[in-house]
Structure 1
Amino acid sequence: MAHIAASMGWFGAIAASLALAVVALVANDPAVIGAVHRVLEPLGWAALVPFSLAALATGVVQSLVSPWGLIRHYWVLNKLVLNAFGVAVLLLYMQTLAGLARVAAAGDTVRPSLSPVLHAAAAIVLLLIALVLSVYKPRGITAWGYREPAGRAL
């Protein structure tokens, strides 16, 4: 349940970020664009980053204590790679959000940017792919899974 809660929290925070990014993209008022850019950074640090790290950590723990294992099945391994990639991109992208927030806070004119919309939309797609993998659990055991003795979850 902790993994599902963390993942849904991450999904919700991304959805909020996407909605705000779209508002900034279509707004004609520089004050609205600046306000959105000032909000995206704290939203990232307060919700996106903690939920993403919690989803990664709980997923790893859950896989290690379950029969699925961490690297035994392709669907679990793919979810791990997707999640780790998403967290890494998010942590790097937080620098961009900080830069946009600094420009907006300085009172400079902030132009609409497609970047926050694209990053949030890509993150939603990433989490939807992870969801599909979790629900359908495509068959396939990795080379490490074939080497593991029965009953041991690696």
Structure 2
Amino acid sequence: MAHVGTSVGWLGAIGASLALAVVALATTDPTVTNAVLVVLEPLGWAALVPLSLASLVSGVVQSLVSPWGLVRHYWVLIKLLMNVLAVGVLLLYMQTLAELAHLARASAVGGAVSRSASPVVHGAAAIALLVVALVLSVYKPRGRTGWGLRSRRAIGASHGTT
């Protein structure tokens, strides 16, 4: 429940960030653009980063205490790698959001506007990644890793089957 909740929350926070980024890119009002760019950074630190980390940690814990295991099935391993990648990119991207917020604050004083498609591109890519993770979670495609096959054989051997 914790993993699903934090993952859905993360997806929702990305959706909100993406909607704001689209508004910033589409509007002709420089005040709105600057305001959105200033807001995206604290939204990232207050919602995106904590939810992404909670999703990663709860997913690892859940896999370790469930029959699925952390590295027994390809779909779990792929989700883990996707989550680690997404969290890593997000943490690095927070520097970009800080810079965009800084430029927006400076632009607000000088009257210019700082436009960037970067938050839209990153938000759309993050949503696509999380939707793929969602599909993997729902459909759980077959396929065991080498580790999963060995552990299955070991369990079968201990029960007298192969």
TM-score interval for Structure 1 and Structure 2 normalised by the shorter chain: over 0.9
Amino acid at match of 1:35: A
Q: How does 1:10-21 map to 2 (within 5 A)?
A: 10-21=10-21
Q: Compare 34-43 and 108-117 and name the one that shifted more.
A: 108-117
Matched, 1:93 2:98: no
Paired AA for residue 70 in structure 2: L
In 2: Cα distance, 1:110 partner to 1:147 partner: 58
Letter in 2 for 1:91: L
Amino acid paired to 1:84: V
Residue in structure 1 matched with residue 4 of structure 2 by the alignment: 4
| Structure 2: gaps spanning 5 or more residues | 157-162
**Contact 1:73–1:141 under 8 Å retained in 2:** yes
Give me the CA root mean square deviation: 1.1
How far residue 5 of structure 1 moved from its aligned partner, in angstroms, is 0.5
Q: Is the Cα–Cα contact under 8 Å of residues 73 and 143 in structure 2 kept in the other structure?
A: yes
Match for residue 37 of structure 1? Answer: 37
Greater helix share, structure number: 2
- Structure 1 equivalent of residue 159 of structure 2: none
Compute the TM-score of the two structures, normalised by the length of structure 2. 0.90
Q: CA deviation at 1:147?
A: 1.7
Instruction: Structure 1 unaligned segments of length 5 or more: list them.
Output: none
2:155 aligned with 1:150: yes
Are the counterparts in 1 of residues 7 and 52 from structure 2 also a CA contact under 8 Å? yes
TM-score, with length taken from structure 1: 0.95
Task: List aligned pairs for 1:1-154, cutoff 5 A.
Answer: 1-106=1-106, 107-108=109-110, 109-148=112-151, 149-150=154-155
Q: How many residues align?
A: 151
Q: Distance in 1 between matches of 2:66 and 2:102?
A: 44
Larger deviation, residues 132-141 vs 107-116 = 107-116
Task: Work out the CA distance in 2 between the residues paired with 1:110 and 1:90.
Answer: 24
Whether the 8 Å contact between 2:13 and 2:48 is mirrored in structure 1 is: yes
Q: Amino acid of the residue matched to residue 131 of structure 1?
A: L
Q: Is the 8 A contact 1:26 1:112 kept in 2?
A: no
Q: Distance in 1 between matches of 2:58 and 2:113?
A: 38
Off by >6 Å, runs of 4+ in structure 1: none
Distance across 2 between alignment mates of 1:117 and 1:150: 48
- For the pair shown, the structure with the greater C-alpha radius of gyration is 2
The residue identity in structure 2 corresponding to 1:65 is V
Task: Please report how far the alpha carbon of residue 110 of structure 1 lies from its aligned counterpart in structure 2 after TM superposition.
Answer: 2.8
